[in-house]
Amino acid sequence: MVSETFIHSKNFEPELPPIYRGVSIARGGAFAHALDMVAGGDVEAGTLVWTRRADRLDCAVVLEPDQPLAASLPVVYVALLGLSDALGALGPPNIPVTFGWPDRIEVNGGVVGGVRVAAADVRGVAEAIPDWMVLGVSVQVHGFPDDDSPGLRADRTALHEEGFGEVETPALLESFSRHFLAWMNTWQDDGFDQVCAAWIARASDYDGEVSLTVSAGAAEAETVTGMFTGIDGAGALLLGTEDGVRRIGLAAALQEPSWGL
């Protein structure tokens, strides 16, 4: 198990754009806490839950979608772009920050975290708009005490091991909140095309071969391999295979995070 270090000062409160309502927790996961809040009904859109951890950015944003679930899921692309810009504003300019489809953020090719989503159940109701959606964000800032080869694993690393030694969790939380909001405004004002183009430009596997494990409802998980040829207007991955182009929708790919910390 990874030991946890915490921001103990109760006097610290992040400087967030006024659209957010910050809620801090001393222990536990921000994503799970936000889900508990929406289940209890005592929460509003714009609530940003964050854990007082010094070693990891762990936060979750409660959203109120205005589109059906399938059209709302591309928020994961928006969140990753916000994270990338947040890191770019705080860290050295010459270190590559890239994305792994659909939910991972990478530094120097190593996974430092990712995003996840959950939404109100709308199964069986065509084109229904979820009452709520929770977006979770996790980025490992400091290293892992149980890792005897820091910086050498592609599936798990930390910002401080990859050249972002000056970045600390409070500043990253504040920076992400601003850059995520900016990309949300771009998505809402200009549509998905600009978001999609910016995301693909930072995708580490674009135009290369990828292997994905996806599931569809009760069906068993399936591993598919092909060439990452693009993302369509609904946010689905277009995968070139021997049998032609296969479309992998976000709903299937986001059943479980493809990353772990």
Q: For residue 236, how far is the Cα from the chain centroid?
A: 16
Are the C-beta atoms of residues 150 and 161 closer than 8 Å to each other? yes
- Calpha distance 35→132 (Å, rounded): 10
The DSSP code for 6 is B
Inter-CA distances, 73 with 7, 11, 24, 31, 199, Å: 32, 35, 25, 16, 14
- Of 173-177, 201-205, 216-220, 222-226, least confident by mean pLDDT is 216-220
Q: Which CATH entry fits the domain spanning 21-201: 3.30.1490.190, 3.40.30.10, 3.30.930.10, 3.30.470.20?
A: 3.30.930.10
User: How many CB atoms lie under 10 A from the CB of residue 1?
Assistant: 6
- Calpha distance 92→46 (Å, rounded): 30
Domains 21-201 and 209-253 share a fold: no
The predicted-structure confidence for 20-78, as pLDDT tens digits, reads as follows 999 999 989 999 999 999 999 879 999 999 999 999 999 999 999 999 999 999 999 99
Inter-CA distances, 40 with 33, 37, 46, 61, 70, Å: 11, 5, 16, 16, 25
Global confidence as pTM? 0.92
Does the pLDDT of residue 150 top 60, yes or no? no
Where along the chain do its domains lie?
21-201, 209-253
Q: Tell me the average pLDDT of the chain.
A: 90
User: How many CB atoms lie under 10 A from the CB of residue 179?
Assistant: 21
Q: Which tokens sit at 149?
A: 């080869």
Give me the CATH topology for the region 209-253.
SH3 type barrels. (2.30.30)
Q: Could you give the percent of the chain with pLDDT greater than 90? A: 76
Does the pLDDT of residue 154 top 80, yes or no? no
